[in-house]
Structure 1
C-alpha cells in the first residue's frame, strides 16, 4: 500500500512539473517580441512572486497551459515576473499596476487586449478556446441562428450582408474583432434567416442585437462605419436599464463605465422605483444610440451615489455624465414623466453643467490654500500665480503621511506672494480639466502662472518638494513683500540724496 501511495504521489508531482513546463517564462522585451511573432495567439500573465493572488493562479495557469497543448488554433501561455530586472521595461510598457494582470497578444506586441475570464483551469481553458477562434460565425440556417441566440452569454449581434467579399462584411468583421469580449457575433448572407426581415425586403447591411431576457430587438440605422457601429453595439448590448448592485448586473455596469458612452444615472429611494419610472428609463434607453441607463437606489447604489456626490436626499435625481464632453448635468426631485424632458433638454443644449464640489470655505488663510471644484479654474489657472496643488483623499494612508510635510511646504512659501501651495479633496470635488489625470491619491500637479501643467512624480520629502517648486516656478523670489519694496525705495532715495551732496 505504501509503495502504491508513493508511486501515485510521484506521478502527481511529475504531472505538475510537466504542466509547469508548458508555461514559458519570459525574459525581457526582446524575448517577448520573439514569442509574439512566433505564436499568433499568446497569453501573458504579468505577476509578482510575493503576490498572494498570483500564487493562487500559478497552478491553475500551469494546468490550463497543459490542457491547451495541441489545441488548434495554437494557444500559448507565458508568464512575466515583473520584479525581475530584465522585465522592468515590460511593466511600464504595458501599464501593469496590479497583479496578476493577463493580456492577450494576437501577433502584435503593441496592441494586447485584456483578459476578462476566470482564474481557474476549466474557466481559463474555455475562455481562451473561444478567444482563439474567430470573432464571428457564419450562420447558414434558421436552426443555426436560433442556436447562436441561445448560446450567447449576454447578447448576439446578427448582421445580414450581401456577401463575404463585400465592404460591409469587412466592417462587420472589424467590429466583431474589436468587441469580441463584449458580445457574440454572427452573420448571414440570406436575409430570410433574420426574423426581423421576414415579410419584407431588408437591404444589406442589416444589423440587430438579441439580448437574453429582453424582447426589445435594437436595429442599427446609422451609417455603416466601424466606429459608429461599435459605439451603437456597446450601448445596445447592455440591458435597457442596468441595476447597480445585483452581481448579475455588475459586468454591465463595468462596461457602461469603461468607454466614452454617456451615462444616465437615476438615483432613487428604495420606495421610489415605480413601474412608470422604469418604463420612462427604458424608453430613454431605446431612443438613444449611445446612452447607458443605470438605476441606483440609495441602499444598493450607495457606492455610485457617493462617487458622484449628488446627494438625492430621498428624492429621485437624474444625472447625465458625458465622459467625452467632460460634463455632468443634474436634475433633482424629478417625477418619472420628467425623464424624457431631461433627455430632450440635454440634446437641445438647454441644461447647465453641474459639478461635484464642496462649499467654498468661509475663511481660507492657512499656509495651504483650500481649493474646491467650483473655485478650481479661478484658483489654479487664473490666479496669475504658480500653484502647486495636492489632490488627495482623506482616508488615503499616503495622503495622511504627506499632510504634515505639505503643511510645512505651505509655510515655507507663504511669504512669497507669487507661489500658492494648495490642496483639494478629490473624493468630493471634480477636477474640471482634461490636463490633469487623477488615477490615485495623492496626485500632485504644478501649474505655472501662464498655465503650463506639470505632474510631480518625485520624492515626497519637504526638501525635494521645495526644490521642485523653485526649479519650476516662474515668479518665486521675484515678488518682494511690501515692506521690502519700501526698504528698496528708501535706499534709492538715500542714494539720490548722497549724489546731490557730491555734486554740490
Structure 2
C-alpha cells in the first residue's frame, strides 16, 4: 500500500514537473533573442515571493502544456523580476506581480487581460493566433480538433457559399475570444459528417453522457444573432461546468451542485456525480439551469449560502430562483432529494435562505443598524428619507468615515431622515443596491425606495448636510435647501 501511495505521489510530481518544463524561463541575457524566435508568446513577469504569482504558476504551467501543442503553437514564458530579469522587467514597465503581456516575434503586442486559470488562458490565447475559425482539411484533422478541445466547439460544414456560411464567419469573429470555431468545405469531411450546409455544436468528449446528444445541429434562420443564441443555449449542455471565468454564462433560475470537480485528476469521480445531476436536470430542461462547480473555487459562494465545506463531504446544493432568492438543500445529496428540492423551490414551498446577523435587540446609537432580516423595517418601510452606508469591518475608509457618519446621525436625529449602516460582508444586500466596494452609500427617498441613488459626494459632515438638505423630500427643519442653518439652528 505504501509503495502504491509513493508511486502515486511520484506520478503527480512528474506530471507537474512536465507541465512546468513547458514554460520557458528567460532572463536579461536571452530575453530579446529567444523571444524573437516565437510567433506568439505570453510572458509572465513575476516575483518568487508574490502570493498571486504562486497561485498562478500551476495554472500557467497547465496552460503551457496545452498551448505548446496548439496549431499554431503559443509559447508561455516567465521572467523573474527580482533576479536575472530585473532589467527586462524595468524595460517593459512592470509595476506589479504577476504582470502578463503578449509578444509577437519578440515585440510587445498587448497587455494580457484574459482569465488566470488554465482553461481560460488556453482559450484566450488560442484566439490570439490564426483566423477566428480553423479550417479542417480532412476527417483526421476534424477528429483531432474535436479530441483536443476541452469545451464545446462550433463547426460549420459548407459545400458552397451560402447565407449560413456568411453568418457563421461573422459569429466566429464576434466570439473568437469565447468559443472555438472550425469549418470545412472538403468533400470527404462533408461526406463523413453527412451534411452539405450546416452548423453543428459538438460537446467535448469528457462531458458526453446518455441524457443529451453529443452534438446539436442548428436549424434556425441564417442570421448571426439567431446563431449566437443557439450557441449559448447549448454551449454548456444540461449540466455545465461552472467556473470562475464563465460563471456569468449561467442565469437564474439556477441550481448549482458543489463538489470536487476536477476533470484532470479525477474525471471518473467528477462524472459520477455529474451523471446523477444530469438525471434530474433532464426533468427540468428548458425551465431551470443546472451546473456543477468545484467547491474549492467557490468557497466564498458556499459561505454566502451558509454552507460549510469540507473536501470529504458529498456534494452540496444551492439554488437561486428567478427572483434571485437563495435556497439550500438541507438533506444529503441524492438524485431523489435533488428532484424534490427543485420542485419545492419552483412551487414556492421553501423558505429562502437569508445571510444575516441577528436583529439588534436595541438601537441605542444615532446611526440605525440594518441587517438582512430587518432591512425592510429600517430602510424600505421606515417612511423616511434614508441615507444608508454599506461597509466592511476591515475597510480603512469605512473606519475613517465612522465618526463623521455618527455625527451626521446625531445632527439629524430630529429630522425626517434615517441614517443607516449595514455590514455588507455579514448580510445579504438587496438586489436594488449594487455594492462593489466599501463604503458604498445610497440615498433612498421615502417615496422612491425602489429606486435608490448612489451618493458620490464628499465625505465631510458639511458635504452630507448640503446633499440631504437639497434632496430631502420635505425641507429639513434645521437647514434650508442650500444647506445653510436656519435662524433657530446653531452653527455647525
TM-score above 0.5 = yes
Aligned partner (choices 214, 221, 231) of residue 207 of structure 2: 214
Residue in 2 that maps onto 1:77 = 109
Residue in 1 that maps onto 2:395 = 396
Residue in 1 that maps onto 2:97 = 53
Partner Cα separation in structure 1 for residue 250 and residue 408 of structure 2:
38
Secondary structure at 1:131 match in 2: coil
Cα pair distance change 1:369/1:446, threshold 3 Å: same
Partner Cα separation in structure 2 for residue 161 and residue 442 of structure 1:
55
Aligned partner (choices 106, 109, 122) of residue 67 of structure 1: 106
Cα pair distance change 1:338/1:161, threshold 3 Å: farther
Secondary structure at 2:331 match in 1: coil
Residue in 2 that maps onto 1:148 = 145
Q: Provide the alpha-carbon RMSD of the alignment.
A: 4.6
Aligned partner (choices 447, 450, 462) of residue 447 of structure 2: 450
Verify the 8 A CA contact 2:259 2:292 in the aligned structure 1: no
Verify the 8 A CA contact 1:116 1:181 in the aligned structure 2: no
Residue in 2 that maps onto 1:226 = 227
Aligned partner (choices 289, 292, 302) of residue 291 of structure 1: 289
1:264 aligns with 2:265: no
Verify the 8 A CA contact 2:386 2:445 in the aligned structure 1: yes
Partner Cα separation in structure 1 for residue 191 and residue 364 of structure 2:
69
Secondary structure at 1:53 match in 2: coil
Deviation, structure 1 residue 163: 4.8
1:441 aligns with 2:441: no
1:423 aligns with 2:467: no
Residue in 2 that maps onto 1:187 = 183
Deviation, structure 1 residue 143: 1.2
Which blocks of at least 5 consecutive residues in structure 2 are unaligned? 1-26, 38-91, 221-225, 262-268, 480-492
Q: Deviations over 1:285-324 (max 9, x none)?
A: 5664673513455x775332113334589886521136x7
Residue in 2 that maps onto 1:169 = 165
Residue in 2 that maps onto 1:254 = 244
Partner Cα separation in structure 2 for residue 118 and residue 353 of structure 1:
33
Partner Cα separation in structure 1 for residue 373 and residue 217 of structure 2:
40
Q: Deviations over 1:25-56 (max 9, x none)?
A: xxxxxxxxxxxxxxxxxxxxxxx9683238x5
Verify the 8 A CA contact 1:241 1:282 in the aligned structure 2: no
Q: Greater Rg, structure 1 or structure 2?
A: 1
Partner Cα separation in structure 1 for residue 189 and residue 251 of structure 2:
31
Residue in 1 that maps onto 2:385 = 386
Cα pair distance change 1:234/1:401, threshold 3 Å: farther
Residue in 2 that maps onto 1:467 = 466
Deviation, structure 1 residue 144: 2.0
Which blocks of at least 5 consecutive residues in structure 1 are unaligned? 1-8, 20-47, 69-75, 79-100, 103-113, 243-251, 481-504
Q: Any residues of structure 2 matched to 1:96-135 within 5 Å, and which?
A: 102=112, 115-116=114-115, 130-131=127-128, 133-135=130-132
Q: Deviations over 1:144-193 (max 9, x none)?
A: 21121234354423344675423x33443344334323331123468984
Partner Cα separation in structure 1 for residue 171 and residue 325 of structure 2:
28
Residue in 1 that maps onto 2:330 = 332
Verify the 8 A CA contact 1:268 1:315 in the aligned structure 2: yes
TM-score (norm 1): 0.60
Partner Cα separation in structure 2 for residue 315 and residue 132 of structure 1:
41
Verify the 8 A CA contact 1:357 1:428 in the aligned structure 2: yes
Secondary structure at 1:253 match in 2: coil
Cα pair distance change 1:397/1:164, threshold 3 Å: farther
Partner Cα separation in structure 2 for residue 134 and residue 393 of structure 1:
47
Verify the 8 A CA contact 1:182 1:234 in the aligned structure 2: no
Verify the 8 A CA contact 1:264 1:320 in the aligned structure 2: yes
Cα pair distance change 1:350/1:304, threshold 3 Å: same
Cα pair distance change 1:210/1:384, threshold 3 Å: same
Verify the 8 A CA contact 1:266 1:319 in the aligned structure 2: yes
Partner Cα separation in structure 1 for residue 436 and residue 308 of structure 2:
23
Query: How many residues were matched structurally?
Result: 373
Partner Cα separation in structure 2 for residue 462 and residue 315 of structure 1:
52
Cα pair distance change 1:138/1:471, threshold 3 Å: same
Cα pair distance change 1:440/1:149, threshold 3 Å: same
Cα pair distance change 1:285/1:161, threshold 3 Å: farther
Q: Deviations over 1:458-503 (max 9, x none)?
A: 22223322332222222252499xxxxxxxxxxxxxxxxxxxxxxx
Cα pair distance change 1:307/1:354, threshold 3 Å: closer
Q: Tell me which protein shows more helix as a share of its residues.
A: 1
